[in-house]
């Protein structure tokens, strides 16, 4: 009896691709399906057809900037993971609409009220070791920090997930739930795994010992005006011993990190703009950030999974929220096959994100839900 099954298709026809996915999943009692689809697939069609392919199951997903499935990194594909009730005992779904507009507290409160009704317990009382959340959010909404902040206020249950992509077109991203396609929205799932779960956040960086303090920021636009009371790009360039003109060339290998003890929460610079630095996630005024230096993504990820496997039982399935910046780095170094191989031994599904969610909004990580 299958507890977790994965499938993929690179067929350009949405209908045929989903037919192949459905056939590969085969016969199983399916409680939930999580799928990730390239933006080549029309949003309404892919969501509706996936729902129709798995009647009776809760079906959710999002658009991507690349897909991951057991043993492979793919492009222009659909990947899916099906969960039986022996893997996911129970699941509740909520959609937060218009996340990019105005306050989100009430909207998340409404979704959580639905979760409380479903499980018969208050979110603040749920046992964080027995329940886990998944979040899929519009990757162009710039709302991730506000949403994750509010979730963290309301519950100790951890939510992990990713920001939807659109194959680097940066035009529109979608999240999918039960046959519908949403933009400017977040999908929240509250799962009760049947056996157990773990969360793995890994990033391939070490700290350099060089620090920058954000002395002036514009939170709304994710801009840092100044570090250490100097124009941000100048301070960053000086710390790396390079020029402002060369600063952007250093972003991929030298992002900044907020340190929680030894745990790194990466803040990736996006561009230099009139001496300011624009980031892919928020930097708050007064934050002390460490300049990071990149290490080996493939080896680090393999070691991180190995360290988790066997601890509290073997891993039965992985949902991998994998930053597009890591994917680009792997592509540059011709390492996508090697990275895919890291996941050859465990049923895996994932996608290249426009950001990952774990306690907050982060960059350049692989943030994974591991089901036992």
**Residues making contact with other proteins (CB under 8 A):** 124, 128-129, 149, 152-154, 156, 158, 258, 260-261, 263, 265, 284-288, 359-360
Using the minimum distance from each CB to other proteins, give the nearer residue, 153 or 337: 153
State the minimum distance, in angstroms, from the CB of residue 87 to other proteins: 23
Using the minimum distance from each CB to other proteins, give the nearer residue, 351 or 358: 358
Using the minimum distance from each CB to other proteins, give the nearer residue, 213 or 244: 213
State the minimum distance, in angstroms, from the CB of residue 302 to other proteins: 25
Using the minimum distance from each CB to other proteins, give the nearer residue, 191 or 346: 191
Q: What is the DSSP string of 10-77?
A: --SSHHHHHHHHHHHH-S---SEEEEEEETTS-HHHHHHHHHHHSTTSEEEEEEESSEEETTEEESS-
Q: Helix 324-332 vs helix 297-308: angle between axes, to the nearest 10 degrees? A: 130
Using the minimum distance from each CB to other proteins, give the nearer residue, 149 or 216: 149
State the minimum distance, in angstroms, from the CB of residue 152 to other proteins: 5
State the minimum distance, in angstroms, from the CB of residue 366 to other proteins: 18
Give Cα 132 to chain centroid, integer Å: 14
Which sign does the torsion angle of CA 215, 148, 142, 201 carry? Answer: positive
d(CA 254, CA 240): 9
d(CA 224, CA 227): 7
Instruction: Look up residue 109 and give its DSSP letter.
Output: H
State the minimum distance, in angstroms, from the CB of residue 217 to other proteins: 10
> What's the Cα-to-Cα distance from 252 to each of 128, 205, 206, 210, rounded to whole Å?
34, 11, 13, 17
State the minimum distance, in angstroms, from the CB of residue 138 to other proteins: 20
Using the minimum distance from each CB to other proteins, give the nearer residue, 116 or 149: 149
Using the minimum distance from each CB to other proteins, give the nearer residue, 66 or 255: 255
Q: Which residues, listed in sequence order, are joined to residue 8 by a DSSP beta bridge?
A: 79
State the minimum distance, in angstroms, from the CB of residue 281 to other proteins: 10
129: CB partners within 8 A, 6+ apart: none
């Amino acid at each position: 009896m299958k507890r977790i099954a994965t499938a993929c298709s690179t067929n350009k026809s949405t209908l045929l691709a989903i037919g192949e996915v459905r056939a590969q999943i085969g016969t199983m009692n399916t409680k939930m399906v999580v799928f990730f689809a390239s933006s080549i697939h029309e949003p309404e069609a892919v969501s509706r057809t996936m729902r129709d392919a798995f009647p009776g199951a809760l079906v959710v997903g999002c658009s991507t900037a690349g897909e991951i499935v057991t043993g492979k990194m793919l492009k222009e594909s659909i990947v899916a993971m099906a969960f039986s009730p022996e893997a996911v005992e129970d699941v509740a779904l909520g959609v937060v609409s218009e996340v990019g507009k105005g306050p989100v507290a009430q909207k998340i409160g409404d979704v959580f009220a639905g979760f409380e009704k479903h499980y018969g317990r208050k979110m603040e009382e749920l046992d964080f070791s027995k329940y886990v959340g998944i979040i899929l959010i519009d990757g162009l909404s710039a709302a991730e920090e506000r949403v994750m902040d509010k979730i963290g206020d309301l519950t100790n249950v951890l939510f992990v997930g990713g920001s939807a992509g659109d194959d680097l077109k940066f035009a529109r991203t979608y999240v999918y739930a039960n046959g519908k396609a949403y933009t400017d929205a977040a999908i929240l799932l509250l799962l009760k795994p049947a056996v157990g779960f773990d969360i793995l956040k890994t990033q391939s960086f070490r700290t350099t010992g060089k620090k920058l303090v954000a002395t002036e920021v514009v939170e709304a636009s994710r801009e840092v005006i100044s570090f250490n009371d100097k124009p941000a790009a100048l301070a960053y360039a000086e710390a790396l011993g390079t020029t402002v003109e060369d600063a952007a060339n250093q972003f991929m290998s030298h992002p900044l990190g907020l340190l929680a003890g030894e745990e790194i929460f990466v803040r990736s610079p996006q561009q230099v703009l009139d001496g300011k630095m624009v980031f892919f996630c928020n930097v708050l005024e007064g934050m002390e950030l460490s300049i990071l230096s990149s290490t080996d993504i493939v080896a680090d990820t393999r070691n991180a999974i190995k360290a988790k496997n066997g601890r509290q039982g073997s891993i039965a399935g992985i949902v991998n929220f994998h930053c597009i910046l890591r994917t680009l780095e792997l592509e540059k170094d011709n390492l996508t096959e090697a990275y895919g191989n890291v996941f050859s031994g465990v049923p895996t599904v994932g996608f290249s994100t426009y950001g990952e969610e774990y306690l907050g909004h982060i960059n350049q990580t692989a943030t994974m839900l591991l089901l036992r």
